[in-house]
Structures are given as C-alpha cells and as structure tokens.
C-alpha cells in the first residue's frame, strides 16, 4: 500500500477511536503538561561580566561648509571631504573602512520684517558625515587629530569596540549559567530541598563597546575632550602614552527556572 494511503487510513482509524480509549500515559508522554499553579519551582537569575580590551574604534565625524550660494557651499564641502578622505588613505585606512553616510543642506533666512528678505536665503549650510573604522586602537588619537586638521570640524561619536563580541558573549553566558545554577543550589540547600532539572531559561546581553564624543565638539577642543573621557586603567596606546583606552565590559544575564525534586 502506498505511504500516503497508509497515512490516510491510520488517521481515519485514530479519529474513530474515542478519546477515552487512548491511555492517559500515552497522551502525557506525547504532550507533557506545563506545571500548574501548585508546581514546585525555583526561579533565579545569574549575571556575569567579562572585561576585554577594545581592538577597534568607530569614528563618526562631520564636515560643515557655509556660503552665500548653494553651489559654492557644496563645492567647499566636497573640497574639505576630499581632504579628509585623502588623509585617511595616506595613513593606511582602507577604503572599505570609510563611508560618507549623511548629507544635509540647510538654507538660513533673515529675521528682518521685510518679506522679500525672509523668502530669500542669506546663506546655505552644507553638512556631510564620515564614518571611519580603525582596526588599530593606537591609531585613534593621531587619526582624529589629523582629520580635525584636514577639513573635519565636528566629532559626532566615538566607539571603542571588540571585534570578538560573539566569543566574549559566549564566555559571559557560560559564567552566567554557572552563577544561576549555583544560586539555585544555594536556595534549594537553605530550603531543605534538591534542585531538579531546568524547566525554562532565557538570556540577554549588553556591552561590547564604549561610546564617547557628541555634537558641539569643535576643532582641537573635541580631541581634548575625547581623550580625557577615554581615560582608564589599561595601558596607553597613543603617542607618548597620552591615550588610555582601558577595557570594555561584555555582560550576560541568564534567567532560569528549575524544578524542585
């Protein structure tokens, strides 16, 4: 008999059998019931933190130009962006690690009462952002200083990251699981019971980067602020040891529920 025909025949036979005729043990084995409101359970959470040195830096910087005419403002902006990109290439930053990802054109109008003045822009502001990934942390300070000297006026953001985030998350999760098990064992011991099998578990993560910088930082003052904020207990990386990037945290939390034997 073909497989499909056998399956249809078996389905028809099972449908014809009353539910009471099927052993309860067979049903419970096929569909284990969830614990009821009287179930004996222990619910705990375990957390772990892994400290790692960052091995890459993400920079977001901006170029801003102002001129009476839109075309002039765009030309000036393109000129400054080209200077910044040429500097990055000269310092060994690969093209795949550089991206111009934002463009904004903002006309500025007069606040005079004259309607004609209000409708005619006095000048234009053109802004463009550049994203840069540095694979060497110790290149951060000289590259940022060089960008600020080659057309860049704004530092939007700086992130110290680890490129091995998956590996460090796995390590933090393993530690969090052990912490949850130890906590469940301690609770069971104090309550005079024994921890059983795990019933449910969930996990969450955070960290893996350190962020600094922001809007409004201009010129050399931006570099000074960022270097001061990035101080830490790790070994220095910039020229003369002026930059201490410290370590970044990778955190994991595991929530687990165990049965009580």
Q: Write the CATH number for 93.
A: 3.30.70.2970
Same domain, 47 and 170: yes
For residue 202, the model assigns a pLDDT of 94
The predicted pLDDT at position 248 comes to 85
Domain span at 45: 39-53+164-205+248-260
Q: Which pLDDT tens digits describe the chain residue by residue (261 residues)?
A: 555 555 444 454 444 445 444 444 443 444 445 555 567 899 999 999 999 999 999 999 999 999 999 999 999 999 999 999 999 999 999 999 999 877 889 998 877 666 555 667 889 999 999 999 999 888 889 999 999 999 999 999 889 989 898 999 999 999 999 999 999 999 999 999 999 999 999 999 888 766 654 444 444 343 333 333 333 333 333 344 455 667 888 999 999 999 998
What distances in angstroms separate CA 143 from CA 89, 232, 248, one per listed residue?
A: 11, 20, 21
Entry pTM = 0.62
pLDDT at 117: 57
Q: Do 69 and 144 belong to one domain?
A: yes
- State the CATH number of the domain containing residue 168: 3.30.110.170
Long-range contacts of 19-22 (CB under 8 A, 24+ apart): none
Task: Name the H helices within the chain.
Answer: 3-16, 24-30, 70-90, 115-119, 140-148, 165-191, 219-229
Report which of 69, 183, 60 is spatially closest to residue 130, judged by C-alpha positions. 60
Total number of domains constituting the chain: 2
Beta bridge partners of 251: 49, 206
Asked if residue 192 and residue 127 are part of one domain, the reply reads: no
Residue 33 is assigned to a structural domain of this protein: no
Do 261 and 195 meet the contact criterion of CB atoms below 8 Å apart?
Answer: yes
Does 132 reside within a domain? yes
Q: What is the pLDDT of residue 113?
A: 65
């Amino acid at each position: 008999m073909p497989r499909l025909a056998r399956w249809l025949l078996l389905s028809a036979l099972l449908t014809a059998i009353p539910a009471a005729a099927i052993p309860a043990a067979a049903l419970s084995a096929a569909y284990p019931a969830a614990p009821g409101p009287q179930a004996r359970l222990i619910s705990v959470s375990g957390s772990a933190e892994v400290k790692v040195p960052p091995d890459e830096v993400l920079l977001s910087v901006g170029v801003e130009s102002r001129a009476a005419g839109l075309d002039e403002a765009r030309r000036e902006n393109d000129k400054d962006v080209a200077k910044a990109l040429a500097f990055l290439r000269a310092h060994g930053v690969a093209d795949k690690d550089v991206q111009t990802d934002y463009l904004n054109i903002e006309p500025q109008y007069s606040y005079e009462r004259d309607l004609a003045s209000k409708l005619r822009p006095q000048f234009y502001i053109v802004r463009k952002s550049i994203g840069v990934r540095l694979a060497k942390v110790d290149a951060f300070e000289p590259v940022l200083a060089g960008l600020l000297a080659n057309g860049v006026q704004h530092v939007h953001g700086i992130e110290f990251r680890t490129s091995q985030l998956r590996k460090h998350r796995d390590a933090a999760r393993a530690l969090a699981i052990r912490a949850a098990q130890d906590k469940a064992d301690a609770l069971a011991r104090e309550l005079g019971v024994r921890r059983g099998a795990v019933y449910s578990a969930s996990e969450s993560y955070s960290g893996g980067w350190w962020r600094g910088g922001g809007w409004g930082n201009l010129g050399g003052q931006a570099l000074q602020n960022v270097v001061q904020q990035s101080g830490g207990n790790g070994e220095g990386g910039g020229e003369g040891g002026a930059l201490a990037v410290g370590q970044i945290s990778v955190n994991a939390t595991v929530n687990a529920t165990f049965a009580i034997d």
